[in-house]
Amino acid sequence: MAKLYYGNGSCSIEGSNIRGVEIRYRGTIEIDSKAGDNFTIAHQNNGILIFPIGEGFLNDLFDYQGEFRILSVIVADNNAEKVPTTTHRVMDYTELLNTNSEDMTTKSEDLSSTYVSGRKVSKTSLKQQYINNLHTSTHDGELYLQDGTKYEGKFRVDLRDNGAITEGGEPLYYKDGKPTKNPKLVPYGAITQSKERKKQSRKQRIRRRY
């Protein structure tokens, strides 16, 4: 069992061996990742995906500004198994606790304002816009420069359009010349995570047979 907490501009999770989190939400927020260098956050169509690019487990997820109301959560552990998860909204009642009930000026309908932290934002965005420190030697597939030359070395992925680029910012392509960037695709890291889940699932099935 896992517990996801959010409110007051922060989102975190408690649980054992948590490796991935998918959140569906209502609102618009600016996301500041606190998940560490081994995890990346991507967003698309009112969904937030937190996935591993290295070792470790999740606890602190991200800080945020804006309006954020979680609708549903899917959590996976290191065996790619779905973890039952409850969601808990943290509200700042400090002012209410230090005020006599007869002096309280907060109206019940205004309590919904606690879904907003800091300033409101017009659209959801990420402070950390890249998956860094990737290398073609560990990448599943070949990447090419615009002139057709095979590229070997470090690269990163721009989470705004899911495109791979060199450390110097030069866009990378597939062998057929098609650009790697495509905002409509599932984020690159999610594809990697999906492959890893399938691999782990196969290992689990093999173990159960023997």
Q: What is the pLDDT of residues 15-74, one digit of tens each?
A: 999 999 999 999 999 999 999 888 988 888 899 999 888 889 999 999 999 999 999 999
pTM value is 0.68
Band of residue 197 on the pLDDT scale cut at 50, 70, 90 = low
The DSSP letter of residue 205 is H
Angle formed at CA 184 by CA 24 and CA 65, multiple of 5 degrees: 40
Q: What is the pLDDT of residue 92?
A: 53
Give the Å distances, CA to CA, from 5 to 63, 86, 161: 11, 9, 29
Please tell me what DSSP assigns to residue 149. Answer: P
Sorted by where each begins, the domain ranges of the chain are: 2-126, 130-209
pLDDT at 143 over 50: yes
Fold (topology level) of 2-126: Immunoglobulin-like (2.60.40)
Interval 158-181: pLDDT, tens: 887 888 999 888 999 998 889 988
Beta pairing class for 18-33 and 125-126? parallel
Please state, rounded to an integer, the average pLDDT across all residues of the chain: 81
Note the pLDDT of residue 94: 47
Tokens 């890291």 sit at which residue? 189
